[in-house]
Amino acid sequence: MKRNGILNADISRVLSYMGHTDTLAVGDCGLPIPEETERIDLALKLGVPSFMEVLEEVAKEMKIEKVVLAEEIREKNPKIHEEILELVNKMDTECSVEYVSHTKLKAQTKTCKAVIRTGETTPYANIILQSACLF
């Protein structure tokens, strides 16, 4: 049994087999997940677990070189947007932020290794994380 870190077996497995430039998404409970993309459903009830709780834990175990956000998050969910930017700024490696339309972000989830579904109920609380090289 793991002593700490992410205990969810599916998240731990996906993180362990990701390579450089592979992507993983974390989304709110309303984000549509393509049939061809693995769904890791953590949603227990509305709001639980929160988007930021899940994102913070994933970020502790993943070396991230880029994040992709929907342009709409800036206006429609400034609180989560600010929290994401704070998290990115605290990372131990340089991480770029890319903004795309929400429609394009949803389309990009088709190529993600998995989408982690949270219980988040605020709008546009979705992110795609691009894996950096470990060395």
Confidence at residue 58, expressed as pLDDT on a 0 to 100 scale: 98
Neighbours of 64 (CB within 10 A): 21
Q: Is the pTM of this model over 0.75?
A: yes
Range of the domain at 100: 9-131
Looking at the domain assignment, is residue 4 inside a domain? no
User: How far is the C-alpha of 31 from the C-alpha of 55, rounded, in Å?
Assistant: 15
The active-site residue out of 9, 12, 20, 94 is 20
Confidence at residue 92, expressed as pLDDT on a 0 to 100 scale: 87
DSSP element (H, E) containing 69: strand 64-70
Q: How many domains is the chain partitioned into structurally?
A: 1
Looking at the domain assignment, is residue 1 inside a domain? no
Looking at the domain assignment, is residue 72 inside a domain? yes
- Where residue 124 falls (left for φ over 0; alpha for ψ -120 to 50; beta otherwise) is left
Tell me whether residue 20 is one of the annotated catalytic residues: yes
Confidence at residue 3, expressed as pLDDT on a 0 to 100 scale: 86
**Segment-wise mean pLDDT, segments of 10 residues, the chain, 135 residues:** 91 97 98 98 98 98 98 98 98 95 98 98 98 94
Looking at the domain assignment, is residue 2 inside a domain? no
Looking at the domain assignment, is residue 116 inside a domain? yes
* Domain CATH number, residue 15: 3.40.1650.10
Looking at the domain assignment, is residue 51 inside a domain? yes
